[in-house]
């Protein structure tokens, strides 16, 4: 069956699959077809979901102003009496608030989404909401609490595809707070689920995070066992971000072992890969840190 033969609901399902696999350019096309078909069918919930996702994809691609135009169309059509459309709209609205730096407002939106989804037995979306509350919460205690809430809900309702991102996010929280043993345990659990449910780049970064956590724990030999294969894998894929991050960690391992010259060369390679990936603009703090580190070592 071609896309022209499918219902709006079928098109939405296809677009969601593309979105989950990060095929964003294709997903935009199919979400737009789902939106147009939903208008023909007077299927307002699908229309709202498609509009919301078109907004989210513009946010992801760095076009928030265009995205807001789609989001306003979704807002005009969204109704609490139609749970699928309303829950999707809230999830995207919260992400716009998050990216705009309005964390308290975003948290209220995601908490509203969580309660609404639990009330309507939309368990996967409730997990998404809990995940996002953890991300936008400003206290470490709340970040950890909501992370575990999402994990427990995902396990209870067999939303196993969420467990990789959830454990991964919790690992990041422990990393930021320098609790590296807890961080490593979370990343090991995340890897189990990423390797079952995620696409290749998520599997790649799942392995990378384990190597990174071993390095931060001072277990350099174990870290290198993970990071060297990650680097080779990233090179095969041409994933410049992963090449950069693995190179940086391997460089720091060499420096810690007393191999300063080899370490600096790896850091310089990391810097070049960050440049190719556009970190100078997209991640200026990372770009500044790698330059500062190289200058410090060269001095």
Q: Does this model's pTM top 0.75?
A: yes
Residues 6+ positions from 262 with CB-CB distance below 8 Å: 251, 254
| Residue 74, in any domain of the structure | no
From residue 3, alpha-carbon distances to 17, 36, 54, 124 in Å are: 14, 12, 18, 26
User: In the prediction, which pLDDT does 129 show?
Assistant: 97
| Residue 55, in any domain of the structure | no
Give the torsion sign (CA, 71, 84, 100, 169).
negative
Q: Can you give the residue range of the structural domain that contains 254?
A: 199-299
Averaged over successive runs of 10 residues, the pLDDT of the chain (299 residues) comes to: 75 95 93 97 97 97 95 97 97 98 97 97 95 95 96 92 94 96 97 94 96 97 98 97 98 97 97 96 94 92
User: In the prediction, which pLDDT does 2 show?
Assistant: 52
User: In the prediction, which pLDDT does 3 show?
Assistant: 57
Residues 6+ positions from 277 with CB-CB distance below 8 Å: 240, 241, 244
| Residue 218, in any domain of the structure | yes
Number of folded domains that form the chain? 1
- What's phi and psi for 158, nearest 5 deg? 55, 40
| Residue 127, in any domain of the structure | no
Give the residue carrying structure tokens 């500044």. Answer: 288
User: In the prediction, which pLDDT does 4 show?
Assistant: 59
Q: Which CATH number goes with the domain that contains 257?
A: 1.25.40.10
Are residues 125 and 117 in contact, defined by beta-carbon separation less than 8 angstroms? yes
| Residue 112, in any domain of the structure | no
| Residue 281, in any domain of the structure | yes
HEC-encoded secondary structure of 159-198: CHHHHHHHHHHHHHHHHHCCCHHHHHHHHHHHHHHHHHHC
| Residue 204, in any domain of the structure | yes
Residue 81 CB neighbours (<10 A): 9
| Residue 271, in any domain of the structure | yes
């Amino acid at each position: 069956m071609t896309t022209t033969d499918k219902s709006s609901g079928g098109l939405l399902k296809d677009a969601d699959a593309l979105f989950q696999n990060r095929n964003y350019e294709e997903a935009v096309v199919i979400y737009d077809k789902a939106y147009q078909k939903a208008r023909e069918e007077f299927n307002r919930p699908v229309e709202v979901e498609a509009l919301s996702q078109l907004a989210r994809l513009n946010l992801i691609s760095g076009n928030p102003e265009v995205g807001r135009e789609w989001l306003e169309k979704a807002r005009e059509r969204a109704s609490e009496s139609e749970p699928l459309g309303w829950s999707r709209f809230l999830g995207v609205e919260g992400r716009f608030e998050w990216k705009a730096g309005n964390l308290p407002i975003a948290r209220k939106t995601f908490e509203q989404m969580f309660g609404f989804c639990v009330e309507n037995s939309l368990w996967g979306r409730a997990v998404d909401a809990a995940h996002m509350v953890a991300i936008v919460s400003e206290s470490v205690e709340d970040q950890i609490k909501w992370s575990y809430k999402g994990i427990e809900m995902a396990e209870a309702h067999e939303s196993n595809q969420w467990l990789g991102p959830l454990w991964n996010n919790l690992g990041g929280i422990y990393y930021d707070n320098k609790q590296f043993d807890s961080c490593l345990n979370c990343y090991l659990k995340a890897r189990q689920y990423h390797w079952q449910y995620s696409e290749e780049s998520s599997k790649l970064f799942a392995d990378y995070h384990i190597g990174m956590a071993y390095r931060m724990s001072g277990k350099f030999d174990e870290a290198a066992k993970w990071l060297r294969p990650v680097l080779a894998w990233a090179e095969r894929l041409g994933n410049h971000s992963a090449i950069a991050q693995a190179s940086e960690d391997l460089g720091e391992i060499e420096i810690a072992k007393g191999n300063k010259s080899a370490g600096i060369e790896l850091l310089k390679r990391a810097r070049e890969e960050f440049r190719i990936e556009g970190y100078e603009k997209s991640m200026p703090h990372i770009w500044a840190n790698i330059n500062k580190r190289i200058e410090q070592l060269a001095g």
